[in-house]
A and B are shown apart, each in its own frame.
Chain A
Amino acid sequence: MAALTQAAAGHAPARPARLDLSRPIIFTFAAILCVLIVLPLSWLFYYGFVDRAGNFTLGNFRQLVSDRAFVDPLITTFILATTASIVCCAVAAPIGWLVARTDMPVRGFVRLLVTASFVTPPFLGAIAWELLAAPNSGLLNRAFRAVTGAPQDEYLFNIYSFPGLIFVISCYTFPYVFVLVANSLDRIPGDLEDASSILGGKTWTTARRITIPLALPALLAGALVAFLQSMTLFGSPAILALPAGFHTMTTKIWSLFQYPPKPELAAAASLPLLVLTVVLLRAEHMVLGRRGYSVLGGKGAEPRLVRLKFLRWPALAVCLFVLLNPVFLPYGALLNATFSKVATQIVTPQNFTFHNIEFVFFELSATKLALKNTFILGAATATIGTLIALVISYVTARKAVTGHRALGFLATAPVAIPGIVLGVGLFLSYTRPPFILYGTLWILLIAFVTISLPVAYQQLQSAIRAVHSDLEDASRILGATRLQALSHITAPLLRTSVIATWCFVFVGVMRELSAAIMLFTSETKVISVLIFDLNESGDLAAISVLGLFMLIVTFATVMLANRVPGFGGGIRLRNH
């Protein structure tokens, strides 16, 4: 009856009521995100609070804080992260300032080198430093003995040591601080400094009173991020700390899965790491959230560069000297090992060889499998991750459904889950019914999709925000349906960003170690795990070949993504 009256009132002679897709969409994607994030974390909490028999207990945590075997790694990790964070700031802040605000020569090149250290997987850097500074065989120690004539058992550097570990971690963590500081300095409008100058401030006074205070929040945020990175890194401590005979939290958690496995303790040890990460990220957010004032006001003038005068070249020399450590020396060592008959001998015409390359790609049976797995996982993760991120970021950017905030929150949540913690959680979730995925590529796929979701989401959301919703509306009012508007207008405008995001996720998967190390089996090895394995068996030449191959693919992909027009966003890779 009601329907009749409505029709009589002159409703459009229309199609059946428009299907409301918003509910199914939000439920499907909320379900996917819950499986990805909430499920492993729930198991993590469950295991942390039960004993072998499945009864509630706090015993795991009691053991964690009383057993020296756990307390020591905790203290080690804390000292390590604090020291590395301080070192990173001390190195990155001056370089960031020199690059962004002074007339130092070849600043663009210095930036490029920092990016290179950014893109280098930290575990590869750690292995390269084994080649350079292992006490007996390290190239630098050999050179030292050759120059000074010191006896065979004397050495200059020992990379298998606590300072060695801090040094290597800092090498590949300082770019985070650098990027934050340099970007913040780039964004300070020149007229803020001009305003100080016109009031009588000399160059150095202005730098001290205006520029540096404006960049301080970025530096503080950088310190927090560096702390976080050093705390959650697995590769470098596993490679350098274990031979030196000490543990960090991440290696300790990993060792709890070696025979005999103690999953409850691993879960309990993971939880503090998780909580700390969440707290640190909140802190970073708060620190950076107050930065708004630095970009207040209309059109900013070009920043004026501080004239270093006679210090220009010395400043560059200092930068290059610093960059010896993360870039020139390690890359040199890897190149050398690739073409040398003995990995730790300098290449000469006598011992030059292509055999290592031949061995890795044609003789080593594990390579083929690992390459295949890596490329399958990389492509699948990039495709699925980009797709999920695309839908969620569209929904949140356009506020298309109620509850979009919750979706956005879930999509960024994995940022706060360290790779090793996620690995533990997934291991616990998928080694028991109803989902037994352990031993398949699926579990790695789930891990990688989860890890890459925040990056993909961030990139795509800013891309979609840049496509004004008026553009879609204009198409609809002219007669296009929602789907036509998406395919004619939105899709072509987003294409470049989607390709770039795909590339970054692919690269991220290739360098992921800390979650993969918890989840691989002999059939599901990926390149990063293979490199880690080869390190345990001491096959440094093969690692160098694989490492360089990985770097080449990484650089090629990053360059491709940066070449795609219309993609201005900075890269944000995770180092674990």
Chain B
Amino acid sequence: MALVELRGLSKHYGSLAAVDNISLKVAHGLLVCLLGPSGCGKTTTLRLIAGFVEPSGGQIHVGDRIVSSPERTLPPEQRNMSMIFQSYALWPHMTVAENVAYGLTLRKIDRETIAKKLSAILSTTKLQAFADRYPGELSGGQQQRVALARALIVEPETLLLDEPLSNLDANLREEMRFEVRRLHDTYRYTTVYVTHDQSEAMTTADLIAVMNGGKIEQAGSPEEIYDRPRSEFVARFIGSSNVVKGKNLDQSRISFAGAALRCDGATLVAGGETAISIRQHDIRLLSTAPQSEENVVPAVVVRQVFMGGTRDYMVEAKDGTQLRVLAPAEQNIETGAPVWLHLPPERCRALMG
């Protein structure tokens, strides 16, 4: 178990900066998620940590060692890490047992210990019955578990996962999500997990680093990222928020579509313009005008769809801004009807940039 720290890490391919001066500190035994859309640099970051890619600038520290810097990069085999690949990368010419035991045989461990550890990890991952099969004879979920077992048997200091669940079907993915977390809690290695799926990140991570365009937009606990997004990108990417813009009225209010909105998160500079975000399910939909006018915006229903548990509304404010609102399923307001939106001040987050 080790602290993993990225200091001003960069990777350039020609003029393109795949990873652009990022810094991140992951304490012992934490599970951090690098979350972002494809092409945001998260996989490059992971491969930098693994040592497959050499940095153009900055450093990577593991424990008290510098493992990567532009001058010198420790080869992957000397880092005491494990990695689970998006493609699983199971060796087709080896059986499940051979695949899983590979890391131990490289470490020249005696046969009995290998056999003991092998049977232990195979039973943890429920693979005993498949020990002599070849990867081509397994289902996707079983292959995934072989990849997990192969990575965990060497008891790495650091475990890296590159979109490990993206090849599984929806049900299995949910199940494996908790499996990854359970194994992490059992062994407590430092884990870096790359994914583009925000619910995957929410359910597994201690720490989420949202990446965009080679940079870390925001790093924090899942609650922090969800409740207090700092940028429009994070607000939209995590749980798809509504983002509205308006002129600052004073230190805590902006004007939007003829109404004044009080918001939270930052002290506003008078005269400037600020974007605020609010979750779709945090907006309350009222079919009659409320008594208090604080944080109330009049609007018209553009369309609505029954979703089973909820009803998904698209409404349009006076200035033409469209907002999505998730309302209770029984609240059925027809298209074209006027509505009043209540945006609770504590749910309106002022965004930076």
Which residues in A have some Cβ–Cβ distance to B below 8 Å?
6, 9-12, 14, 17-18, 468, 470-471, 473-482, 484, 488-489, 492-493
Q: Is the CB of A489 within 8 A of B91?
A: yes
- Name the one of B66, B82, B150 contacting A12, with C-beta atoms under 8 angstroms: B66
Question: What are 24 A-B pairs with beta-carbon distances under 8 A?
Answer: A11-B72, A12-B66, A12-B78, A14-B74, A14-B78, A468-B87, A468-B89, A470-B86, A470-B87, A471-B91, A473-B85, A476-B77, A477-B76, A477-B81, A477-B82, A477-B83, A477-B160, A478-B82, A478-B151, A479-B154, A481-B77, A484-B106, A488-B102, A489-B91
For window 42-78 of chain B, which residues contact chain A by CB distance below 8 Å?
50-52, 61, 64-67, 71-72, 74-78
Whether a CB of chain A sits under 8 angstroms from the CB of B103 is yes
Residues of B within 8 A of A18 (CB): 75
Which B residues are within 8 Å of any A CB, using their own CB? Answer: 50-52, 61, 64-67, 71-72, 74-79, 81-83, 85-87, 89-93, 102-103, 106-107, 150-151, 154, 160
Which residues on B sit within 8 Å (CB–CB) of A492?
Answer: 93
Chain B residues with Cβ below 8 Å from A17 are 72
A-B pairs, 6 with minimum CB distance: A478-B103, A470-B89, A474-B89, A479-B106, A477-B83, A476-B76
Note all chain A residues with C-beta closer than 8 A to B72: 6, 11, 17
Interface centre among A9, A18, A474, A489 (most CB of B within 10 A): A474
Residues of A within 8 A of B71 (CB): 6
Which B residues touch A14, using CB under 8 A? 74, 78
Residues of A within 8 A of B151 (CB): 478
Q: Taking CB as reference atom, which chain A residue is nearest B103?
A: A478
In the complex, how many angstroms separate the beta carbon of A99 from the nearest chain B beta carbon?
31
Q: 16 other contacts beyond A477-B76, A477-B160, A480-B106, with CB at 8 A cut-off?
A: A10-B64, A11-B65, A12-B65, A12-B66, A12-B67, A12-B78, A470-B85, A473-B76, A473-B85, A476-B52, A477-B82, A478-B102, A478-B103, A478-B151, A479-B77, A492-B93
Given contacts A471-B91, A474-B89, contact A481 B66 (CB under 8 A): no
Q: Quick one: closest A residue to B85, CB to CB?
A: A470
B21: shortest Cβ distance to chain A, in Å? Answer: 19
Chain B residues lying within 8 Å of A479, measured Cβ to Cβ, are: 77, 103, 106-107, 154
Identify which of A12, A478, A482, A493 contacts B74 (C-beta below 8 A). Answer: A12
If the complex has contacts A11-B66, A12-B65, are A477 and B91 also in contact, measured as CB distance less than 8 A? no
Q: Considering the chains assembled together, what is the distance between the CA atoms of A383 and B210 in angstroms? A: 52
By CB atoms of chain B within 10 A, which of A14, A17, A493 has the most?
A14
Contact across chains for A480 and B89 when beta carbons are under 8 A apart:
no
Whether A471 touches B77, Cβ cut-off 8 Å, given contacts A6-B71, A10-B66, A484-B106, is no
Q: A464 vs B159: C-alpha distance in the bound complex, in angstroms?
A: 28
Q: What is the bound-complex CA distance between A473 and B64, given in angstroms?
A: 25
The reply to whether A478 and B154 form a contact with Cβ atoms under 8 Å apart is yes
User: Is B75 within 8 A of A481, CB to CB?
Assistant: yes
For the complex, what is the distance from the CA of A473 to the CA of B160, rounded to whole Å?
A: 12
Evaluate whether A476 and B65 lie within 8 angstroms (CB atoms) in the complex, with A468-B87, A470-B87, A470-B89 already known.
no
User: Which of the residues B66, B106, B160 comes within 8 Å of A9, measured between beta carbons?
Assistant: B66
Complex CA distance for A473 and B79, rounded to whole angstroms: 13
Contact residue among B51, B86, B90, B150 (Cβ-Cβ distance under 8 Å from A478) = B150
Residue numbers in B under 8 Å from A9 (CB-CB): 66
Min distance, Cβ B310 to any Cβ of chain A, angstroms: 33
A471 to B67, CA, bound (A): 23
Contact B102 A473 (CB under 8 A): no
Q: Which chain A residue has the least Cβ–Cβ distance from B153?
A: A478
- Quote the shortest CB–CB distance from A491 to chain B (angstroms): 10
Q: What is the bound-complex CA distance between A10 and B52, given in angstroms?
A: 21
* Alpha-carbon gap, A341 to B297, bound state (A): 108
Chain A residue numbers with a CB within 8 Å of B51 are 477
Minimum distance in angstroms from A489 CB to a CB of chain B:
6
Instruction: Give B159 Cβ to nearest chain A Cβ, in Å.
Output: 10
Contacts of A488 in B (CB 8 A): 102
- Provide the bound-state CA to CA distance between A375 and B74, in Å: 47
- Residues of chain B lying within 8 A (CB to CB) of residue A470: 85-87, 89
Contact of A477 among B50, B61, B65 (CB under 8 A): B50
How far, in angstroms, from A489 to B154 measured CA to CA in the complex? 18
Is B74 touching A474 in the complex (CB atoms < 8 A)? no
Distance of B232 from chain A, by nearest CB (Å)? 35
Inter-chain CA distance A325–B51, complex, in Å, is 61
Would you give the shortest CB distance from A269 to chain B, in whole angstroms? 45
Question: A562 to nearest B CB, angstroms?
Answer: 20
Which of B74, B79, B102, B107 contacts A475 (CB under 8 A)?
Answer: B102
Measured CA separation A6–B59 after assembly (Å): 12
Q: A478-B102, A484-B106 are in contact. Are A473 and B83 (CB under 8 A)?
A: yes
In this complex, what residue of B is CB-closest to A476? B76
When C-beta atoms are compared, the residue in chain A nearest to B102 turns out to be A478
- Cα A481 to Cα B75 in complex, Å, equals 8
B29 to chain A, nearest CB (A): 20
When chains A and B are docked, how far (Å) is the Cα of A507 from the Cα of B172? 51
CB distance from B78 to the nearest CB of A (A): 7
Contacts of B107 in A (CB 8 A): 479
A14→B74 CA distance, assembly (Å) = 8
A29, chain B: closest CB distance, angstroms: 23
Residues of A within 8 Å of B86, CB to CB, are 470
Partner of A493, one of B77, B78, B92, B106: B92
| Chain B residues closer than 8 Å to A478, beta-carbon distance | 77, 82, 102-103, 106, 150-151, 154
Chain B residues within an 8 Å CB radius of A11: 65-66, 72
The smallest beta-carbon distance between B73 and chain A, in angstroms, is 8
Measured between alpha carbons, how far is A135 from B124 in the docked complex, in Å? 83
Residues from chain A with Cβ under 8 Å of B103 in the complex = 478-479
